[in-house]
A and B are shown apart, each in its own frame.
Chain A
Amino acid sequence: MKLDQKRRVFLKGSVAATSVGFAVGAGLLTPSAVLAAWNKSAFEAKAVDKAIGGALGNPTTSPSDKISIKAPDIAENGAVVPVSIKADLDGVTEIALLVEKNANPLSAIFHLPKGTLPDVSTRVKMGKTGDVIAVVKANGKLYSARKSVKVTIGGCGG
């Protein structure tokens, strides 16, 4: 458990690290209480870069073809768009999933302990046509990829 806790503190990133780290170290907080520190500011951010910065500590990412996003070209249902993110990178500790055109772009942050593969799937709501963005933190560096998903009224097919 000890190692696990330390990892978590590390994962939580820059600013909060010291104080939370202290709290955990001092036995004041259980791991589940650490978990409760839901990243409010990142999830409530309206701009993509603010959301990324809030989620992963830095708004600047380098595009990478090592990340593959599996999402439909045209969504079958904008309310349920399946997205899978896979990274062919070592040392991945976090994956953030964003929907560019949503009012609050950040959808999810996945924290991956060592041994967990950078390969996660979930489903997101998309109000309109736009990009799904994946940001992957690997060995402390941020990489990103995008995939356009069209949201359509549908109907009238041949």
Chain B
Amino acid sequence: MSLSRREFLRLMGLAGAAGLLPTSAFAAARKPSDLYEIPAFGNVTLLHMTDCHAQLNPIYFREPSVNLGIGAAKGRPPHLVGKHFLQYYGIEPGSIEAHAFTYLDYVELARKYGKVGGFAHLATLVKRLRAERGDGKTLLLDGGDTWQGSGTAFWTRGKDMVGACNLLGVDVMTGHWEFTYLEKEVIANIQEFKGEFVAQNVSVNEDALFDYAFADFEGFDEDSGLAFKPYTIKIVGGMKVAVIGQAFPYTPIANPRRFIPDWTFGIKDEHMQATVNQVRESEEPDLVVVLSHNGMDVDLKMASRVSGIDVIFGGHTHDGVPKPVVVSNKGGKTLVTNAGSNGKFLAVMDLEVSKGRLKDYRYRLVPVFANLLPADPEMQAYIDKVRAPYKDKLEQKLAVADELLYRRGNFNGTFDQVICDALREVKDAQISLSPGFRWGTTVLPGQEITLDNVMDQTCITYPETYRREMTGKDIKDILEDVCDNLFNPDPYYQQGGDMVRVGGMDYVCNPTEKMGRRISNMTLDDGTPVEANKKYVVAGWATVNSQAPGRPIWEVVSEYLERQGTVKIKKLNTPRLVGVKGNPGLGS
């Protein structure tokens, strides 16, 4: 970045402009001179990042226009999008923060404000905050989904990210996609990680307990059966801070069990309560926080059931939530946050803690704009080094985007449609299915699509594609099942992903219905109804239960992109929604 922050602001005509300055809940009475001037407060600062999905370089990431809350979650954080979001949090439309938190005027504002995230830029921000707060007064927490999401993470089996996190100075982490590598790789990466890996909800299962391959791993405890350390104690600003880990509870369901056959997960909120009680009794901490990968709705429910936690720093659902939600429970109150994804945000919580009590706090979810934060040279050099062997391959240009390509949202994004179209065309199928992941970066219209972009959207450790016959009923069952994982009114039955993406088929979806009754009117692209007993040729990828036979999805998508040259979406297979009119989780 050749421009200094100040120069950049001047150039953009933004300095002092209302757009840049938070005018609302975020802002102190005085106006800060830049986005990253965060007045110090209290004696403990907890920095939290989550779900960066291995995005070492700055990227574009469009927030969702559909993020429906059903039942009690309707219209409540995090289920607010677009103008509903801005109204709720009092953010000025068109401002840099409106751009960071919503999809509104996305292309125009993305061109204006530039890319977000990038570890070199994040490192600059972390260093600045650490210097401002002073030695030993900060703790950097990483909520996980760190080792997966880019080509380099895939090819180095997450090691590039372990190195980057060590350089960034991550103190404590937990995980989810980390567990999509093999058990021995997970253990090796944790051993290489300089911080601590914590999870109170991952146990060694009954079979493995009798003959466990990692019995010597220091995180394992034979008596409790826990595979990893449940918590750690850190001294921050002279205060004793307990950080309890909560890994993604449904990893072996949402992702392949075959990579991690010895480990069993779960929400385990009773064990969470027991852990909190034990920590409070035996360690006498001044502050108890949970570093969670539950997803925001699950965290909100857990906060209402478990008492004694001061703050839950949440991730998984990729919700950029500007203010903590305060949840009441038997023991008092618990703050619940969620800090977005893809390296786009850094959460800064300054706390005033004394003698076992959280007295007050300030919270900011700070967007990381690459143009506003110069790259940290040391981190940049590291990133360049890990990318070097793959650089040429990754920067290979495959096609040009004719329109905005993104994924995030409850239903098909435009990049999903490209993947679905690629599957149908390259694999000669009537219908295609693609998982509703919440990661995957955005490509602006006119931008060249590189293998980097394709890997951002597709690189997982089970990328194999399939082409098989399914009946209409089989397809409906899959849609119903995934839809329930998204819209079950009880968050403990949700898995935090979005709806499975479809190609070549439309349907009607009523998220407010019961399982088995949400999906109807399935039709092929030509309008022919999909019949329950008739067989269809379906192509897809990312099979969880067993390895599919076809080549990796990125090869299929790359081939399709090269054929296309210029990528235009002919038809977006997004369902017609019923029962959710006026839902603030639905954008215009």
Interface residues of A (CB under 8 A from B): 70, 72-77, 82, 123, 150, 152-158
Contact = CB atoms under 8 A, between A and B. Distances in A.
Interface string B462-498: 0000000000000001100110110000001101111
26 contacts: A70-B270, A73-B266, A74-B250, A76-B250, A82-B264, A150-B493, A152-B253, A152-B481, A153-B477, A153-B478, A153-B481, A153-B482, A154-B545, A155-B254, A155-B500, A155-B543, A155-B545, A156-B436, A156-B482, A156-B542, A157-B250, A157-B251, A157-B435, A158-B295, A158-B318, A158-B438
Interface in B252-270: 252-255, 257, 264-267, 270
7 closest residue pairs by CB, A with B: A157-B254, A156-B435, A158-B438, A155-B544, A158-B497, A154-B253, A76-B252
A103 B463 CA distance: 37
Contacts of B295: 158
Contacts of A153: 477-478, 481-482
Interface in B489-545: 492-493, 495-498, 500, 542-545
Contacts of A73: 266-267, 492-493
Nearest to A71: B266
A132 B484 CA distance: 20
B147 interface: no
Given A74-B250, A76-B264, A82-B264, A157 B255 contact: yes
Given A76-B264, A82-B264, A152-B253, A157 B478 contact: no
B495 A158 contact: yes
B406 interface: no
B439 interface: yes
Contact of A152 (B248, B436, B485): B485
Given A156-B436, A156-B482, 18 more contacts: A73-B267, A74-B495, A75-B253, A76-B252, A123-B206, A152-B253, A155-B254, A155-B435, A155-B482, A155-B500, A155-B544, A156-B435, A157-B254, A157-B437, A157-B496, A158-B317, A158-B318, A158-B496
A155 B255 CA distance: 6
Contacts of B544: 154-155
Interface of B: 205-206, 248, 250-255, 257, 264-267, 270, 295, 316-318, 435-439, 477-478, 481-482, 484-485, 492-493, 495-498, 500, 542-545
B266 A158 contact: no
A74 B317 CA distance: 18
A157 B316 CA distance: 9
A10 to B, nearest CB: 32
Contacts of B493: 73-74, 150
B254 A154 contact: yes
Given A74-B253, A156-B482, A158-B496, A82 B265 contact: no
B253 A157 contact: yes
A46 to B, nearest CB: 23
Contacts of A158: 254, 295, 316-318, 436-439, 495-498
A74 B257 CA distance: 14
B497 A157 contact: yes
B370 to A, nearest CB: 24
Contacts of A152: 253, 481, 484-485
Given A73-B493, A74-B493, A82-B206, A156 B254 contact: yes
Nearest to B316: A158
Contacts of A157: 248, 250-251, 253-255, 435, 437, 485, 495-497
B18 to A, nearest CB: 35
